[in-house]
Amino acid sequence: MQKITPFLWFNNNAEEAINFYTSVFKNSKILSVMRYSDAGPGPKGSIMGGAIEIDGNEFKFLNGGPQFTFTPAISFFVHSETQEDIDHLWERLSEDGEKINCGWLKDKFGISWQIIPSILGKYLSDHDPIKSKNVMMAMMQMKKIIIKDLQDAYYKE
């Protein structure tokens, strides 16, 4: 069991979110779903909350009402090894959401994600300041991160 589990508060669309995220991420599954009984406070049979697993990480969901919303101050950082993975996650997670700069997006539920190639950290922390600056400048021009463009910037002479 992981020690810290993200707990996401939704306004009556937790079930949609659970189904959406498990359809987007290849290595995911629904762990549990809790439904309201006669005791409420939601309509009997409607979803109160649940849990999913994505790549071995558990996420909890709650239909808590409209009191709280998501903010970009907290985001999920997704390490991607291939452009194919970046393309898939970028397109699916940004459906009916918002594509932002530097690999950031906001999904249709308002949750912020960073879809980032694992190699980016190596490039940005390179001891050669020209290489790391070239990569940073290239990344700042992108919405979705393109690995080949980062590589071209890194090896630019």
**Shared domain check, 59 and 82:** no
pLDDT, tens digit, for every residue of 14-67?
999 999 999 999 999 999 999 999 988 888 999 999 999 999 999 999 999 999
Amino acid at 147: I
pTM of the shown model: 0.93
**Shared domain check, 59 and 26:** yes
Cα 96 from Cα 105, distance rounded (Å): 11
CATH code for the domain of 156: 3.10.180.10
What residues make up the domain containing 85? Answer: 70-157
**Shared domain check, 56 and 83:** no
Q: Is 117 helix (H, G, I), strand (E, B) or coil?
A: strand
**Shared domain check, 115 and 59:** no
pLDDT, tens digit, for every residue of 69-128?
999 999 999 999 999 999 999 999 999 999 999 999 999 999 999 999 999 999 999 999
Query: Nearest Cα to 12, choosing from 60, 78, 66?
Result: 66
Amino acid at 101: N
Number of domains in the chain: 2
Query: Nearest Cα to 110, choosing from 49, 69, 140?
Result: 69
Please give the sequence-ordered ranges of beta strands (E in DSSP) within 1-157, or none if there are none.
7-10, 28-35, 47-54, 57-63, 75-80, 98-99, 104-106, 112-117
